[in-house]
């Protein structure tokens, strides 16, 4: 699974790349905003999506800074946060399939955290790529809240590979730059299985570049501000006896 991840100002670089790839760099200017080195379920975070403008009919690449990491259609009864969509269930689950067919997004991140049991104790690891950011595949649902719309998202996961598989059995499905446009297209998929195959291939490519290292157990605390905005959370720690 993917239960925590990190973002900082480098996400501006990621979004600039996404928007330029979409052909409308005028739609985006880098912004100042708070880093979050410990994005947790139900937190708000940034996603990128393509949407057809209701008035002009133009295709626009949009940046949602305050999307909620909890995919929750109005009809969903369970109170548990829905943060990960298993790739194996995208085309069959009533919860995921409609969004997979027509509401896909990119979730930019520096990397993500998983826990490995060492000598009976859970040790957090940061899992990342030498690239400045990772592009996780996501799906979203817009939910009307009063007079406003709340965008809610989940990160797609798959069986872990390579270094990430040494820490946990699941990992996010990652995209490569040549697949951003196809993934973000708001056009309904004609053959969803082809897109599943694409995600499997791109995530394997990215997985081959991923490295991991242990980090402070301070990451376990998601409520204290000095934790989530502290870049020292990404510093490697020594776990040797």
pLDDT value of residue 60 = 84
pLDDT tens digit sequence for 193-223: 999 999 999 999 999 999 999 999 988 877 6
Compute the Cα dihedral for 125, 107, 24, 65 and give only its sign.
negative
Instruction: Report, as an integer, the average pLDDT of 140-154.
Output: 93
Instruction: Report, as an integer, the average pLDDT of 4-14.
Output: 84
Other CB atoms closer than 10 Å to residue 34's CB: what's the count?
Answer: 10
Q: What is the mean pLDDT of the chain?
A: 89
Instruction: Report, as an integer, the average pLDDT of 220-227.
Output: 66
pLDDT value of residue 202 = 97
Pick from 86, 94, 90, 95: nearest CA to 189: 90
Architecture of domain 4-110+133-211: Alpha-Beta Complex (3.90)
Would you kindly state where each structural domain of the chain is located, as residue ranges? 4-110+133-211
Whole-model pTM: value is 0.93
pLDDT tens digit sequence for 44-85: 999 999 988 878 888 888 888 899 999 999 999 999 999 999
Q: Is the pLDDT of residue 159 over 90?
A: yes
Compute the Cα dihedral for 192, 75, 86, 43 and give only its sign.
positive
Q: Which two tokens stand for residue 152?
A: 């809610």
């Amino acid at each position: 699974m993917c239960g925590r991840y990190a973002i900082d100002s480098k996400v501006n670089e990621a979004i600039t790349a996404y928007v330029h790839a979409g052909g409308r760099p005028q739609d985006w200017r880098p912004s100042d905003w708070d880093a979050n080195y410990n994005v947790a379920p139900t937190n708000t975070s940034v996603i990128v999506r393509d949407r057809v403008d209701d008035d002009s009919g133009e295709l626009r690449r949009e940046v949602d800074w305050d999307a909620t990491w909890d995919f929750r259609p109005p009809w969903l009864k369970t109170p548990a946060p829905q943060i990960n969509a298993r790739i194996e269930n995208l085309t069959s689950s009533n919860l995921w399939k409609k969004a997979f067919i027509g509401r896909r997004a990119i979730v930019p991140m520096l990397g993500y955290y998983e826990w490995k049991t060492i000598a009976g104790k859970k040790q957090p690891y940061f899992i990342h790529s030498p690239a400045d950011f990772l592009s996780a595949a996501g799906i979203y649902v817009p939910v009307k809240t009063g007079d406003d719309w709340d965008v809610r998202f989940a990160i797609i996961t798959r069986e872990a590979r390579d270094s990430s598989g040494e820490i946990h059995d699941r990992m996010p499905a990652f995209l490569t730059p040549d697949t951003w446009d196809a993934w973000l297209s708001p056009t309904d998929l004609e053959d969803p299985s082809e897109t599943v195959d694409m995600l499997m291939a791109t995530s394997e490519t990215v997985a081959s570049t991923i490295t991991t290292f242990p980090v402070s157990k301070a990451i376990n605390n998601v409520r204290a501000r000095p934790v989530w905005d502290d870049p020292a959370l990404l510093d490697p720690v020594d776990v040797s006896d």
